[in-house]
Structure 1
Amino acid sequence: MNRRNFLLGASALAVLAACGDSSKFIAYNGPPVTQIQIFKSKRMMYLLSGDEVLKSYDIALGGDPVGPKQFEGDGKTPEGLYYINRRNPNSAYYLSIGISYPTPQQVAYADSLGKKAGGDIFIHGRDGKNKGKGRDWTAGCIAVKDKEIREIYAMVRDGTPIFIFP
């Protein structure tokens, strides 16, 4: 009886292993990511350790990618220096890591014009019903493929600076 249960369990594990790794979470043991650089005009994101590029990714941006984000609903991706400040393992977009937009100065500017600065800007995937269509489709976020956000989620730590260039 015990041998039969062992063989059934081993067979089940072999079948699962043959299906591939479906886990969203992977391990990363390489050099630390010390900064992220995003070049909106090139639609490229780079993960760096010091001055060495560890990884590069093609990205999608907000639906109106030219110019900095200033107000809620403007469809723009922010520009400037921010920090990774949160994670969402249950994102509607597979996985996501938060960007510290808006700064207090950006909030004050929007307030001075009677508007809201917006928020909830993330680097995220394209999961399920939310798969992006076209070149730039987000509401201001930075989108990559699901397999890429798995790598990014594993490699990048909270507090990492992110420079977003025009």
Structure 2
Amino acid sequence: MHLRYWFFILSIVCPFTASASSAQSHTKVDLVIVNKSESRMSVMRDGKVIKTYVIAMGDAPKGHKLREGDQRTPQGRYVLDYKKSDSAFYRSIHISYPNDEDKLRAQALGISPGGMIMIHGQNPRSSLSPEEAQKYNWTNGCIAVTNKEMDELWRMIDEGTPIEIWP
């Protein structure tokens, strides 16, 4: 009887413990905010931060992306418009750069604005640990997180979620 009592208690408590710890990664977010100067990305729901991630960016993270190959991450308001499960860097979520303003600026300057800016996982060819790699800006202008974090983001972010990228 005593043993049966503990199994009953565990069957009630354990599901709540597991769901409480993983509930955060199953929450759908309604906004993603990137703070380039702090190398941080926060996912938001109803004006509250759900989680914050350390990010890696391109080799020249300061300033707005102007042209293809400038190693910069764009700044402004965009949309996370599609997911790519077979990305070269684990998984990726596409950022809708360039927007109309970016295209007009590039046209006026006679340059290509570039594109294919993503939030993605780790570089599979890197010899660094995921945590070590996040200490360096190694992308071509994308926003990188660890593969484990990318799995969380994959569940939390729906296509059409807005993203704000701040200086």
State whether TM-score is above 0.5. Answer: yes
Q: Which bracket does the TM-score occupy, shorter chain normalised?
A: 0.7 to 0.9
Partner in structure 2 of residue 96 of structure 1: 92
- Conserved 8 A contact 2:33-2:165: yes
Structure 2 equivalent of residue 38 of structure 1 = 34
Aligned pair 1:49/2:50, yes or no? no
Q: Return the alpha-carbon distance in structure 1 between the equivalents of residues 76 and 152 of structure 2.
A: 24
2:161 is matched with 160
Instruction: Pick closer, same or farther for the CA change 1:124–1:77 going to 2, 3 Å.
Output: same
Equivalences, count: 140
Alignment of 1:5-20 (within 5 A): none
CA distance, structure 2, for counterparts of residue 121 and residue 155 of structure 1: 19
Identity %: 40
Mapped contact 1:99–1:122 kept (Cα < 8 A): yes
Task: Provide the TM-score with structure 2 as the length reference.
Answer: 0.78
Q: Which runs of 5+ in 2 are unaligned?
A: 1-22
Matched residues in 2 for 1:28 and 1:114: separation? 45
Distance 1:119 1:111 in 2: 14
| Deviation at residue 50 of structure 1 after TM alignment | 1.1
CA contact (8 A) 1:93 1:128 kept: yes
> Do the aligned partners of 2:56 and 2:143 also contact (CA within 8 Å) in 1?
yes
Q: Distance in 1 between matches of 2:25 and 2:54?
A: 23
Query: Could you list the runs of 5+ residues in structure 1 that have no partner in the other structure?
Result: 1-26
Counterpart contact for 1:36–1:161, Cα < 8 Å: yes
Which is worse superposed, 32-41 or 130-139? Answer: 130-139
Aligned counterparts of 2:105 and 2:48: Cα–Cα separation in 1 = 36
Structure 1 equivalent of residue 139 of structure 2: 138
Give the CA deviation at 1:113.
1.5
- Structure with more of its chain in helix, by fraction: 2
Between the aligned partners of 2:149 and 2:98, the Cα distance in structure 1 is 25
TM-score (normalizing by structure 1):
0.79
Deviation at 1:55, TM superposition (A): 1.2
- 2: distance between equivalents of 1:99 and 1:138? 14
Structure 1 position 104, deviation (Å): 1.5
Contact 1:44 1:59 in 2 (8 A): yes
CA distance in 2: counterparts of 1:136 and 1:31, whole angstroms = 28
- Contact 2:25 2:155 (8 Å CA) reproduced: no
2:74 aligns to what SS in structure 1?
coil
